[in-house]
Amino acid sequence: MNETENTFDADVIIVGGGPVGATLALALAQGAPSLKVIVLEAQTDAAARRDTRTLALSHGSRLVLERIGVWRKLAAVTPITQIHISQRGSFGRATLSAEEAGLPALGYVIPYAGLQHALHAALQQCGAQYVTGAQVSKVAPGAAAAQVHYTHDGASHVLASRLVALADGGRSLQDIPGVKRECRDYHQAAVVCQVTTELPHKHLAYERFTEDGPAALLPSGEGYALVWTAAPERVAQILALSEAGFLSQLHAHFGDRQGRFLQAGPRSSFPLSLRKSQPITRERLVLIGNAAQMLHPVAGQGFNMGLRDAWELSRQILGCAPEAIGGAAMLERYVAGRRVDTQGGIFFTDLLVRGFSNRLQGLRQARGLALSVLDVLPPLKSFVVRRLIFGAKG
């Protein structure tokens, strides 16, 4: 297969229509309507809407979603205007505020299902070919073309493309020739659910570090989205508690700042690890979003980093001639453009998880000191806020 035979089925095939894959497709459809883009998504739209995850979007991700025209279509967006950071059982606290940062909000909390609903609606109207219920079983890199094998309506298909972007969330396609998956298991899992509190949230988020792992309360609608991390055995106990038992143990764990916890929605859990794919490109193939890196949710970096992957890849594709799409030079530029942000985000998240989730007395005091210093040094706050919002490139 070569260029002159013109045997490509598409310029870009995107495997996975999650937030990262869908963002890439929309950015390409808007930037170059003549490009042939195919999105293969395993789930149907209705199935995607049942997902109960809650996502914290940074202000930088809002800018990306604005540019692809999806932001104004989102329902149930709750702004975060302040973040209160503390550690349990020790001194030291810091508050980051949108006002100090000169922004309308530090971030936004949104149900994953709501974001998916808006992205899917936009995908159906854009120029990309959007195939739901398409289960990809294999992607094969290749110098002439990358191939994608999938089943749809009981029939098997193979497509050839100048470039395949793998955005499957890193959970389904494990055997990519030449790609290694590194994994650091944190021996932590997260309990997630919606809770309501005695006091209104006033758009204040909490990040509370404890020796068992961080706990976050993110303002969501009238209540909070809770992410409570602990060792897997402890998480199993938490999931098995009655609602009254759960609310009282959450109060003991989290403290009194929001008064009592009044109600909790259905609880679910997910394991936490750091997973990195290496390398993130092969011939005419690129891994983006959670397929490339899966982070601990402590600093809310992973999802936002995935959107920046999609945005940067769209810029690289749109910036080259169609025949250069998927070529080595384009992929090298993409990798170079993402290196600092990805490595910085992984380092920062890993440092937070390992530095704050242990019982060493000296470290506890150092953490308290670090939080106190952060609280009183505006330039340091501004540095931290910019990185939370825009990634390691600030």
Ligand X SMILES: Cc1cc2nc3c(=O)[nH]c(=O)nc-3n(C[C@H](O)[C@H](O)[C@H](O)COP(=O)(O)OP(=O)(O)OC[C@H]3O[C@@H](n4cnc5c(N)ncnc54)[C@H](O)[C@@H]3O)c2cc1C
- Taking the complex as a whole, the smallest distance from the CB of residue 22 to ligand X amounts, in Å, to 7
Whole-number Cα distances in Å, 233 to 51, 80, 229: 24, 32, 11
Q: Quick one: tokens of 104?
A: 């309308």
- Taking the complex as a whole, the smallest distance from the CB of residue 49 to ligand X amounts, in Å, to 11
Cis before 279 (ω within 30): yes
- Taking the complex as a whole, the smallest distance from the CB of residue 84 to ligand X amounts, in Å, to 18
Q: Can you tell me the distance from the alpha carbon of 243 to that of 221, in angstroms, rounded to the nearest whole number?
A: 20
Residues with Cβ within 8 Å of 1's Cβ and at least 6 positions away in sequence, in order, are 7, 144, 145, 160
> Quick check: 58 and 107 in contact, CB under 8 A?
yes
3-class SS of residue 177: coil
- Taking the complex as a whole, the smallest distance from the CB of residue 51 to ligand X amounts, in Å, to 8
- Taking the complex as a whole, the smallest distance from the CB of residue 30 to ligand X amounts, in Å, to 18
3-class SS of residue 36: coil
3-class SS of residue 217: strand
Q: Which is nearer to ligand X, 13 or 364 (CB)?
A: 13
Q: Which is nearer to ligand X, 179 or 367 (CB)?
A: 179
- Of residues 62, 61, 60, 98, the one with CA closest to residue 80: 98
Q: Which is nearer to ligand X, 44 or 365 (CB)?
A: 44
Q: Which is nearer to ligand X, 63 or 113 (CB)?
A: 113
The residue sitting closest to ligand X, measured at its beta carbon, is 18
Which residues are near ligand X by CB under 6 A? Answer: 15-21, 40-43, 53-56, 134-136, 167-169, 172-173, 192, 227, 270, 289-290, 297, 300, 302-303, 306
- Report phi then psi at 275, rounded to 5: -125, 130
- Report phi then psi at 330, rounded to 5: -65, -45
Q: Can you tell me the distance from the alpha carbon of 333 to that of 337, in angstroms, rounded to the nearest whole number?
A: 6
Q: Which is nearer to ligand X, 92 or 230 (CB)?
A: 230
Q: Can you tell me the distance from the alpha carbon of 114 to that of 272, in angstroms, rounded to the nearest whole number?
A: 24
Torsion of CA 371, 373, 378, 383, to 10 degrees: -60
- Taking the complex as a whole, the smallest distance from the CB of residue 268 to ligand X amounts, in Å, to 8
Residues with Cβ within 8 Å of 20's Cβ and at least 6 positions away in sequence, in order, are 167, 288, 289, 290, 306, 307, 309, 310
Q: Which is nearer to ligand X, 92 or 300 (CB)?
A: 300
- Taking the complex as a whole, the smallest distance from the CB of residue 109 to ligand X amounts, in Å, to 9
Q: Which is nearer to ligand X, 19 or 214 (CB)?
A: 19
Chain length of the chain: 394
300: left (phi over 0), alpha (psi -120 to 50) or beta: left
> Quick check: 304 and 58 in contact, CB under 8 A?
yes
- Taking the complex as a whole, the smallest distance from the CB of residue 269 to ligand X amounts, in Å, to 8
- Taking the complex as a whole, the smallest distance from the CB of residue 149 to ligand X amounts, in Å, to 10
Q: Which is nearer to ligand X, 124 or 365 (CB)?
A: 124
- Taking the complex as a whole, the smallest distance from the CB of residue 276 to ligand X amounts, in Å, to 14
Q: Can you tell me the distance from the alpha carbon of 49 to that of 114, in angstroms, rounded to the nearest whole number?
A: 7
